[in-house]
Amino acid sequence: MLKNEHIFDNMIKLHAIGGYDEVGRNMTCLELADDAFIFDCGLFLPPIVEMEDSLKNKAYSEKMLRSIDAVPNDLVLDENKVREKVRHILVTHAHLDHVGAVPFLGDRYNAEIAGTPFTIEVLKTLIRDNEAKMKNPMRVVSPNSSFKCGKYKIEFINMTHSTLQTAMIAVHTEKGVVLYANDFKFDNSPILGKKPNYERLAELGKEGVLALIVDSLYSGDERKTPSEKIARDLLEDVMLGTNNKDGCIIITTFSSHIARLKSIVDFGKQLDRKILFLGRSLHKYVSAASRLQLVPFAKDIELVSYANHVKKRLKQVEKERNKWLIVCTGHQGEPGSVLDRLSRDYWDFKFSPKDHVIFSSRIIPSPINVANRSRIEKKLKEKGVRIFTDVHTSGHCGREDLRDLITMVNPKHIIPAHGDLDKRTPLAELAGEMGYKLGETLHLVQNGQTLKLE
């Protein structure tokens, strides 16, 4: 971006590693005089989804994942001699596009990994599942707490999102706070967990925020993102307000969305149904949360993930279908998911026209997802099953939430993140409206670029 390197010796640098040319493999590095911090280290999922089946079932290696561009290209940090300066990998939350590359790349850094309890618990599962070898120490940081690394205070600010214990991360430097705010919504009725820590954000604004790296995924949606409470009400309407007394109810949603799962279980109990959770991914996230006592409904459900157990349970369901609520994987139509298999009669489970299938999600709009979902929905319709879609609210902030955040923390520089140029453009336009200037205080960067701030 700038030509005369020597004049910036004292500057703070931001290295855009991943997530600036795609939605996924988020990774940003903050480089200070002698230290550096990495924010997030996630996977890019589409190339993994599109891999040949033969590859899918092997354990993944760093090399293979690099070859298909599924992990951030952090080799640029080696070239710039930044790698050795990295002290911490700071992860915001438990989603794979933010934490999923740690098992493959974390080992390259002589650095401690820090995250909230749920995030670290999920990370441990990922490490185990991938048989990854990692020597990095782990630090569990409670939401709304902080720790010191040398002269730098690092703070995890509680935030709401579509999974538990999500944080914005603030690094306090001599030149001001660098605030990493990827993946959040401002939800005042989050069903599970605390509300966003607006007070602390306002305080940071007063202390002085040098730079805000911020989620722009839905910055083009001219609205405040509706609360999780809305999703709960929509679920209530569909689960309690339609005629389902003679059929089985099958719901699919994001496996890590424990608040959503709580609402589903609550209404399942009101319907007096036995509740079955089917699928490996559900098992992974719900178990991790249970170990931390974060699942209030743990005793109300049965978690089943092995295929032959699933088959056995489904036999029982068929005998008295109107006594059961099934929660399962497959909301994006993923081949091999429980809903996909159900739709293909894989376990000899026969749908009845009295059955309801509820998608408590929205399609992440890639062509492959659209086709997968369409295939499943078509099969379900042929069986006469009744379908309810989009019983959901998003976990990402809209344009008006972003305006509130920017007003609150009043940063000197804004760096839109989480998506290709197309996704980040609307946030750049909003910042423009608010007085920021492109190339001066507002920065559109690409993977592999370095930004110097003062």
Residue 43 binds a copy of itself (CB under 8 A): no
Please pick, from the candidates 174, 199, 222, 320, the single residue that binds a copy of itself as defined by CB under 8 A.
222
Which of 197, 227, 256, 263 binds a copy of itself (CB under 8 A)? It is: 227
CB distance 208 to 413 below 8 Å: no
**Tokens at residue 198, please?**
């607006």
- Tell whether residue 446 is a contact of a copy of itself (CB under 8 A): yes
Q: Is 368 in the site for a copy of itself (CB under 8 A)?
A: yes
Pair of tokens at residue 202: 């306002």
**Dist. CA 346–CA 354, nearest whole Å:** 20
Q: Which token pair is 59? A: 């354990």
Could you say whether residue 352 binds a copy of itself (CB under 8 A)? no
Q: Does 361 bind a copy of itself (CB under 8 A)?
A: no
Indicate whether 55 belongs to the interface with a copy of itself (CB under 8 A): no
Examine residue 365 and tell whether it contacts a copy of itself (CB under 8 A): no
Which of 35-43, 252-260, 302-310, 444-452 is the region at the interface with a copy of itself (rule: CB under 8 A)? Answer: 444-452
Count of residues engaged in binding a copy of itself, rule: CB under 8 A: 65
| Of positions 45, 75, 140, 230, contacts a copy of itself by CB under 8 A | 230
429 belongs to the binding site for a copy of itself (CB under 8 A): yes
159 forms part of the interface with a copy of itself (CB under 8 A)? no
Q: Are 300 and 137 spatial neighbours (Cβ–Cβ below 8 Å)?
A: no
Quick one: 322 or 449, whose CB is closer to a copy of itself?
Answer: 449
Closer residue to a copy of itself in complex, CB, 143/205 = 205
Helices (H), 19-162: 46-49, 53-56, 62-67, 75-79, 96-99, 102-105, 117-129
8 A C-beta contact, residue 454 and residue 2: no
DSSP 135-155: ---EEE--TTEEEEETTEEEE
Name the pairing type of β-strands 166-173 and 176-181.
antiparallel
Q: Tell me the closest approach of the beta carbon of residue 10 to a copy of itself, in angstroms.
A: 13
Query: Using CA atoms, how far apart are residues 370 and 393, in angstroms rounded to an integer?
Result: 19
Q: In what order do the strands lie in the sheet with 249-253?
A: 301-304, 274-278, 324-328, 249-253, 356-360, 386-388
R_g over Cα of the chain: 22
| Binding stretches for a copy of itself (CB under 8 A) | 1-4, 7, 21, 50, 186, 188-189, 222-224, 226-227, 229-230, 233-234, 237-238, 240-243, 366-368, 370-375, 381, 384, 386-390, 400, 403-404, 407-408, 420-422, 425-426, 428-429, 432-433, 437-440, 443-446, 449, 454
